[in-house]
Amino acid sequence: MSRKARKYVFVIGGVMSGVGKGIATSSIAKIVQSRGFSVNAVKVDPYLNVDAGTMNPTEHGEVFVIKSGLECDQDLGNYERFLNKDLQDDLYITSGMIYQHVISRERNLGFRGKCVEAIPHIRDEIILRFRRTVDFNEADISIIEIGGTVGDYQNIMFIEAARVLKVEHPDDVLFIMVSYLPIPQGLGEMKTRPTQNAVRQLNSYGVQPDVIIARSERALDKKRKDKIAVSCNVPADHVISAPDVESIYDVPLNFEKDNIGEMILSGLKMKARKKTNDLSRWRKFVSKSKHAKEKVSIALIGKYFDVGDFTLSDSYISIIEALKISAYTLGRKPELTWVSAGEFEKNPRMLKKLDNFDGIVVPGGFGERAVEGKIKAIKYAREKKIPYFGLCYGMQLAVVEYARNVANLRGAHTTEVDPDTPNPVIDIIPEQKELLEKQKYGGTMRLGGYIALLKKGTIARKVYGSELVEERHRHRYEVNPEYIERLTESGLVFSGTSPDRKLMEIAEIPRNKHPFFVGVQFHPEFQARPLSPHPLFTEFLKAAIKN
C-alpha cells in the first residue's frame, strides 16, 4: 500500500515583518486540527544560525525550548500553545542547518565528487526536510511558515523549494500570503498597493498565492477586498480580513468567519473528518478571557524590558502567555507590569512600589546585569509576604538571597556573576565547565525535558498531584550540593530534585511561613497552553488573588 499523499500549506509574508505571520500559522494549524486532521506546524528561519540558542532575546525575541532540547524561534511556542501538543526537532528549520548539513556531506564525499551548488543541492535538501515534516505522527498536513518577507534574499531558496513541490504535486500544496495593508496617518485610508507589489514579486518567483490574509489596524472593506482579488488574481472570498484584535486567541475564530478552514481543505482536495468544526473548547476559553473583569496585578522583574525607548515583551512571551492563560482560567484579568530590576539598584526606596502588586515574578536570564536589583526585590517579596515565583535564574537568585539573609552565608552568590564568591551557593556543573573551557556554547546547556522527583508534603507535590514530573530546562548553573544541608537547616525546602537527588529542581518556603514562595530551575512557561494551563502558574495566581 502506498503512503498517503503528503499535504503542505506554505505561509509567506508580504510587505513587512512582525505583523503576525506566526499567529496566522498557529491559527490555521488549529483550524485544520479542529476538522479532525493531524497537523504539524513548522517554522523556517532564514538565518545562518544553526538554532536560536545564541540569539539575543532583545533582538530576536524569546528562545523557546522544545522537549528534545532544541532551542527554537518563539513561534514554536505559539504552535505548541495553539495545537496543545509537543513538537519535534525536524519541525524547526534554519538556513544554518541546511548549509551545515550540505557542507558536512560534501566534506565526507557524500556527493561523490560532484560540483556542489545552491541549485539543486541546497534546494533539494530543503525539499527533503519539508517532506520529512509530515512524517512525524504521520501527520496529514504540514503548515510551514517561511520566515521573513517576499523580497528577502535569505528566504528565496525556501520559496523555490516550495515552488518545486507545487510543480510536482499540484493538488497537495497551498500558498497563503500574510500581507500588511498600511493606513497612513495623514490619509486615514487603507492602501492595497504594497500588497499588490508583494504578490507580483512572489509571482516573479513562480508562485501564486491561493489565499491572502490581509493584516491591518481595522477590518477590510468590500471595495479593497475586491481590489486585492482583481489585482492579485485570487477569488474575493479567498481574501481574508485580519484586523488587530484584543487577544491572539481570537484569531482562529476570526479566520473561521471567512471560512478559511473549508477553503484550505478544498484547495488540498480534502474533506473534513468531523461533521462540525470542533473549536468548542477553544471558544469557551476565549469567552472566559473576555468575561474576566476582576484584575490580578503581577510585577515581572527583568532586565530585557528597557531597550532604547521601548519595551520588548517578546523576550518573555511564554511567561506572559502562561500568566494570562492561568488568570483567565481563574476568571481574572491579568494586569502585567514590566519592572526594570536596575531601578532597585539605583534607588532601593523604589522597592515600595512592589506593595502595589498581588504577586512578583522573576524570570530566567543570564549574566550580571541588574542582578543585585533582582535580589533586593526577592528579599522584599520574602519579607513582605508577597507571593513570589522564580523561574530558572529567578530560582537561583532566590537561593542566593536566602543564603545571604537567612542562612547567614556571607557574600553568597552565583559563580556566573562572582567567580570569587566565598560562598558559591550556585555553581556551574563540571561537565558544563569543560564545555565552556573549550568555548562550545551553542546547544550545550542543560536543555529540554528532564524528570523531577517531588517531595511529599510540599507545595510542589500538592500542586502537581504526582511524584514524578517532566519539565524543560535551559541553563548551565545549579544549586551547589555542598550547601544543600546548610540551606535546608535554615528552612529552605528543596521540594523537587533530579531522580538521583543530585540536582535541585524546586526550592520553596513552607506555606506556614509564606503564602507562596517557589523557585523552579526549569521553565514551566514552555508547557502552559490555553487548553491545559500550567499548575504552578495557576497556584501562584491563586495566592496572588488571595493577597
Residue 340 is part of a domain; what is its CATH number? 3.40.50.880
325 and 427 fall within a common domain: yes
Assess if residue 1 is contained within a domain: no
Q: DSSP H helical segments within 385-481, as ranges? A: 393-405, 430-437, 459-464
Helix (H, G, I), strand (E, B) or coil at 301: strand
Query: Looking at 284, 317, 349, which one is the last position of a domain?
Result: 284
Judge if 275 and 370 occupy the same domain: no
Last residue of a domain, one of 266, 284, 302: 284
Structural domain count of the chain:
2
Catalytic member of 471, 525, 534, 539: 525
Looking at 284, 305, 327, the residue that finishes a domain is: 284
319 with 197, same domain: the answer is no
CATH number at residue 250: 3.40.50.300
Decide: 227 and 221 in contact? Cβ < 8 Å: no
State the Cα–Cα distance between residues 464 and 542, nearest whole angstrom: 15
Does residue 253 share a domain with residue 329?
Answer: no
Catalytic residue among 145, 321, 392, 478: 392
pLDDT in 10s for each residue of the chain, 547 residues: 245 788 999 999 998 888 899 999 999 999 999 999 999 999 999 999 988 888 877 777 889 999 999 999 999 999 999 999 999 989 999 999 999 999 999 999 999 989 999 999 999 999 999 999 988 778 999 999 999 999 999 999 999 999 999 999 999 999 999 999 999 988 888 999 999 999 999 999 999 999 999 999 999 999 999 999 999 999 999 999 999 998 999 999 999 999 999 999 999 999 877 666 679 999 999 999 998 889 999 999 987 555 443 445 778 899 999 999 999 999 999 999 989 888 898 888 899 999 999 999 999 887 778 899 999 999 999 999 999 999 999 999 999 999 999 999 999 999 999 999 999 999 987 766 666 655 555 557 789 999 999 999 999 999 999 999 999 999 989 999 999 999 999 999 999 999 999 999 999 999 999 999 999 999 999 999 999 999 999 999 999 999 8
Please check whether residue 167 lies inside any domain of the structure: yes
In a domain, 128, yes or no: yes
220 & 84 share domain: yes
Answer yes or no: is 4 within a domain: no
DSSP single-letter state for residue 482: G
Is pTM, for the whole model, over 0.95?
no
Q: Kindly state whether residues 306 and 415 are assigned to the same domain.
A: yes
Looking at the structure, do residues 28 and 148 belong to the same domain, yes or no? yes
Centroid of chain to Cα 451: 21
User: Quick one: 257 and 374 in the same domain?
Assistant: no
**Do 61 and 99 have their domain in common?**
yes
In a domain, residue 2? The reply is: no
Confirm if 530 and 285 have CB atoms less than 8 A apart: yes
* Cβ proximity of 87 and 79 under 8 Å: yes
Task: Note whether 393 and 527 are same-domain residues.
Answer: yes
Q: Other CB atoms closer than 10 Å to residue 313's CB: what's the count?
A: 17
- Whether 510 is in a domain gets the answer yes
Q: Measure the CA–CA gap between 329 and 249, rounded to whole angstroms.
A: 14
Residue 523 designated active-site: yes
For β-strands 173-180 and 211-216, DSSP reports them as parallel
Catalytic residue among 475, 523, 534, 539: 523
Position 3 in a domain: no
Q: Is 525 an annotated catalytic residue?
A: yes
Q: Which among 107, 195, 123 has a CA at the least distance from the CA of 161?
A: 123
Parent domain of 540: 292-546
299 and 229 in a single domain? The answer is no
122 and 173 housed in the same domain: yes
Q: Is residue 243 part of a domain?
A: yes
